[in-house]
Amino acid sequence: EQIEKGGYEHFMLKEIHEQPNAISDTYRGRMLVDKGIIRMAGVDDNMERIANAKRIIIVACGTSWHAGLVAEYIFEDIARIPVEVEYASEFRYRNPVITENDVVIAISQSGETADTMAAIKLAKEKGAFAFGVCNVVGSSISRETHAGAYTHAGPEIGVASTKAFTTQITVLTLMALKLGKFKGTISNSDFQFHLQELERIPEKVKEALKSDELIQEIADKYKDAPNCLYLGRGYNFPVALEGALKLKEISYIHAEGYPAAEMKHGPIALIDEQMPVVVIATKKGHYEKVVSNIQEIKSRKGKIIGIVTKGDEEVRDLADYVIEVPETMESLTPLLTTIPLQLLSYHIAVLLGKNVDQPRNLAKSVTVE
Ligand code: AGP
């Protein structure tokens, strides 16, 4: 097992650090930047069917559901197809309206999650086209779907999903770009810019990983907090949900993720000098609005940990700590902002002496209802 961990103390830490390679493995062979094309057999072979969908319904659970939420922003923005994102366990039991014009995308690292599998079977029965985004090759969901795209993240052993999340987002971004190009909803120059920027992401993830020492210091400061709030907007709202899920599942600290602007509709009541609030406040995407949310937290004496774009001064002046990530285009920020949140939950769990790779009550793949 020590050899499998490749010198890291835990699988989770190894998998966090594998993300630069995992992301490039996901786009390698698919994204031909010089030629300005994306090749994905599962999409190419079914282009008319997918591009003409009246609606895309994404079904998934847990972290994969969060990747689906990020994809909702990407698909609507780039391919102009309406998207709904559903918890597979709710979708399958509520007699959903599904038509032959729908494309249902199942996202699952393991490809074995029982609820996601059942949701796909239901969608097929109703005549929808089923597309799988799985990591495990030959898994049940990848076999049950009409077509799909693997994430190629390599084996993920830690129960807390890390590289599965970033590679799912990468595959779904490629898919949205491909559909957008086919439909003409993205300009050639924008398409090309996306490809070039996606190609730079692995290097930028490496850069983001360099904040590890600072994050250990922050983890030590807040490890005894009983609660923690995560806020983000737009593309980074699902990242806030994912950051909170990571913290609760491995450290057992109660954490909630919220869209930053929803704070004033309830969670603001929780804020006092005991409450750490992690705020994703990157330069692109409602930055000024998020800064005013930070001011509201500060005036209630909450402790602020800002995830900011490199060189940011405004949030630095307000926050207790800032963790910088490199600049990128808004739609790709989740691939960077999620990195410090993974490391933060990891270090808090280690400092608290928790079983990071196998947290209590959880299984890597949930094959029961
Ligand atoms: C994430 O850290 C979880 N352990 C869990 O939420 C997981 O993402 C969920 O069970 C879905 O698994 P899947 O991607 O294999 O379908």
125 Cα–ligand 1 center, Å: 25
Residues above pLDDT 70, as percent of the chain: 100
Distance 179 CA to ligand 1 centre (A): 27
Q: Give the pLDDT band of residue 363 (cuts 50, 70, 90).
A: confident
Label residue 47 by pLDDT band (50, 70, 90).
very high
Q: Is the pLDDT of residue 111 over 80?
A: yes
Pocket lining: 358 vs ligand 1, CB cutoff 6 Å: no
Whether the CA torsion 109, 167, 248, 90 is positive or negative: it is negative
Q: What is the pLDDT of residue 367?
A: 85
What size, in residues, is the chain?
369
Encoded tokens for 166: 């970033």
Cα–Cα distance, 27 to 172 (Å, whole number): 11
63 CB less than 6 Å from ligand 1? Answer: yes
In one-letter notation, the amino acid at residue 15 is E
For residue 1, name the pLDDT band (cuts at 50, 70, 90). Answer: confident
B/e letters for 34-47, b = 16+ CB within 10 Å, e = fewer, are: eeeebebebbeeee
Report which ligand 1 atom has the smallest distance to the Cα of 366: 10
- pLDDT, position 364: 84
Q: How far is the CA of 1 from the centre of ligand 1 (A)?
A: 22
* Per-residue pLDDT tens digits for 170-191: 999 999 999 999 999 999 999 9
- Annotation says 364 is catalytic: yes
Q: CB–CB of 88/108 below 8 Å?
A: no
Question: What mean pLDDT do residues 208-223 have?
Answer: 98
109 lines ligand 1 (CB under 6 A): yes
Instruction: Please tell me the pTM assigned to this model.
Output: 0.97
Mean pLDDT, to the nearest integer, of 307-317?
Answer: 96
Q: How confident is the model at residue 266 (pLDDT cuts 50, 70, 90)?
A: confident
Give the whole-angstrom CA distance, residue 29 versus residue 18. 19
Residue type, 78: I
Which value does ipTM take for this structure? 0.98
Nearest CA to ligand 1 atom 10: 62
- The Cα–Cα gap between 286 and 282 comes to 9
**Cβ of residue 162 lying under 6 Å from some atom of ligand 1:** no
Q: Where are the beta strands (DSSP E) in the chain?
A: 31-32, 37-38, 55-60, 83-87, 102-108, 129-134, 147-150, 227-232, 254-259, 276-281, 303-309, 321-325
CB of 158 sitting under 6 A from ligand 1? no
Q: Mapping DSSP to helix (H, G, I), strand (E, B) and coil, where does residue 321 land?
A: strand
Q: With a 6 A CB cut-off, is 89 part of the ligand 1 pocket?
A: no
Residue 202 host element (H or E): helix 188-209
CA of 115 to the centre of ligand 1 (A): 11
- Residue 268 above 90 pLDDT? no
